[in-house]
Amino acid sequence: MSNLQSWIDNNTYHHSEFWDLKKLVDIKEKKNLKISLCLPTLNEEKTIGKEVIIFKSEMMERYPLLDEIAVIDSGSTDKTLEVAKNYGADTYLASDILPHLEQKRGKGENLWKAIYQLKGDIIVYVDADISNIHPRFVYGLLAPLIYRDEIKYVKGFYDRPLALSGGVRTTGGGRVTEILVRPLFSLFFPDLTAMIQPLSGEYAVRREILEEIAFPIGYGVETSHLIDVYSKFGLEAFAQTDLDKRVHENKPTQDLGKMSFGILQTFIKRAKALGILDKADHTTLLRQFQAKRDQYEQKLIEIIEDERPPMIEIEEYRKKFNR
């Protein structure tokens, strides 16, 4: 636990720490880094225009952190591509990239094809459905990679917790994270429970990492990234940044069930490949998050699912019922 808390203290940031964007640009240019932003889309005409406008004006023109902004689309039937192109983004249909390959559809497919299509040494992925979009969704993810060469993968998380009358407010991911992914990580990958929102769609990654890992085409892509990068490079390859608040439409329960099913398939596939499902001695500690003021801490809860034997094995029962 002390090692995990040390990682949280040293590798967890708040975007406000990176307010000096001019300094960030200077270091980026000194290191000769090229940075690409990928916005994966499917019918996002309501939000994509605002995202492109803000990122282009603030992160390319005012502070040239980004070298390109690209929309990779799954085949929208609305005006997503038209709107994005009109506001200055490069637009691509995923099906037009590497067209000789069998056509597949899914967010993970878009993210994977972005590695081929885009030129950056670092690729920033930001979901296209964020209604409270802000430049922090880019610079908050990029800064740890620009400042620290040893960091390879930066995750975003949201809803900065507030201290109310000295109290504690729980924090963490969404429903699928807290009900499925965090329990699975607690059992099989305890180190990865240090990631506050493992399923967030906002992250920045060095190209040499992205090109070495497989991409599920659907809901399992974020889970697979964490397991694969952790297996290859350890927890020290990661950092995470508090991006304050993210506003988007919540998914209905049935959609969350589909998401969970896809994630579970991905998890089982990797757990089998790593041989961890064969272990009999799993931990009984569930690791959740809480925050006190601006400090993020793990909360360990022991949950022991003990079992009683079949009643027929109890001598008193057999006597009572003449078994």
Distances (CA, A) of 248 to 114, 158, 227, 251: 23, 12, 26, 9
Query: In the chain, what is the greatest distance between 2 CA atoms, to the nearest angstrom?
Result: 85
At the topology level, CATH places domain 9-166+189-246 in Spore Coat Polysaccharide Biosynthesis Protein SpsA; Chain A (3.90.550)
Instruction: Take residue 123 and report the two structure tokens written for it.
Output: 């690729």
**What residues are paired with 13 via a beta bridge?**
241
pLDDT at 160 (0 to 100): 44
Position 169 scores a pLDDT of 44
Taking only the tens place, the pLDDT of each residue in 194-209 is 999 999 999 999 999 9
- Summarised one tens digit per residue, pLDDT across range 250-291 is 677 788 888 899 999 999 999 999 998 876 566 677 777 666
| 161 pLDDT above the threshold of 50 | no
What average pLDDT score do residues 105-130 get? 95
Q: What is the mean pLDDT of residues 233-260?
A: 86
* 158 vs 14: CA distance, rounded Å: 10
Which of 149-158, 269-278, 297-306 is predicted with the least confidence, judged by mean pLDDT? 297-306
Mean pLDDT of 98-103: 92
Instruction: Give this prediction's pTM.
Output: 0.86
Question: Taking 60 as the threshold, does the pLDDT of residue 166 lie above it?
Answer: no
Each domain of the chain, given as residue ranges in start order, spans 9-166+189-246
Residue 139 has pLDDT above 80, yes or no: yes
Which alpha helices (DSSP H) does the chain contain, by range? 2-11, 21-30, 48-56, 80-86, 107-117, 136-147, 175-176, 182-188, 207-210, 221-233, 253-274, 315-320
